Amino acid sequence: MQNDVKMKAGAGESNSQEITAMAKDAKPFEGLNANAKQTMATAYWAMDYYFDNLRKIVSSAPSGGTDFGEKLKGYAEENIAAMHDFIKQLAQAKDFEAVLRIQKDFVRSQFETFDEQAKNLGETYAKSQFRTRDKGSS
């Protein structure tokens, strides 16, 4: 039991020495900051790589040669770009208030975008159905 107490006391002395050394150091987190910056740079690269590949996949997908398919593909590419920008903005937020503002703005703009895209897709689909029907009756 006494050994345990001595060990705990010894561990406390070690921690206090480390804390004292960090307090004397003018920039105790400088090395930590460099590691964090490197980690963030790697994460940004991975995110950009993911979204670039996602865009390539969507742009190379067949649209079926129809206006509807082309619009659908174009909207998918626009939505991917918007999500990528959103994530970049979130990553650069300085505080929680900025995160909430960025998220609110993104959700609002995506609802507006979705509304416009749905209307355009509906109109394009309806036009394609009328063309198909008219071709069938000729």
Q: What mean pLDDT do residues 82-91 have?
A: 94
**What integer best gives the mean pLDDT of the chain?**
81
Higher pLDDT, 28 or 31: 31
Nearest to residue 115, comparing CAs of 75, 62, 85, 87? Answer: 75
Backbone φ and ψ of 36, nearest 5°: -65, -40
The residue-averaged pLDDT of 92-121 equals: 95
What's the CA gap between 69 and 130, in Å, rounded? Answer: 16
Query: Residue 31 above 90 pLDDT?
Result: no
Angle at 50 (CA atoms; ends 44, 56), nearest 5 degrees? 135
The tens digit of pLDDT for each residue in 35-54 reads: 888 888 898 899 999 999 99
Helix (H) or strand (E) holding 64: none
Tell me how far apart the alpha carbons of residues 38 and 54 are, in angstroms, rounded to a whole number: 24
Residue 15 pLDDT level (bands cut at 50, 70, 90): low
**pTM score of the predicted model:** 0.66
List for the chain the helix, strand, coil content (%; round to 5).
90, 0, 10
Neighbours of 68 (CB within 10 A): 19
Share of the chain above pLDDT 70, in %: 72
Are the C-beta atoms of 124 and 67 separated by less than 8 Å? yes
Span 51-75, pLDDT tens digits: 999 999 988 888 888 888 899 999 9
The band of 107, judged by pLDDT with boundaries at 50, 70 and 90, is: very high
Query: Letter for the amino acid at 12?
Result: G
Which position has the higher pLDDT, 18 or 87?
Answer: 87
d(CA 71, CA 123) in angstroms, rounded, equals 11
Give me the residue label for tokens 């480390």: 18
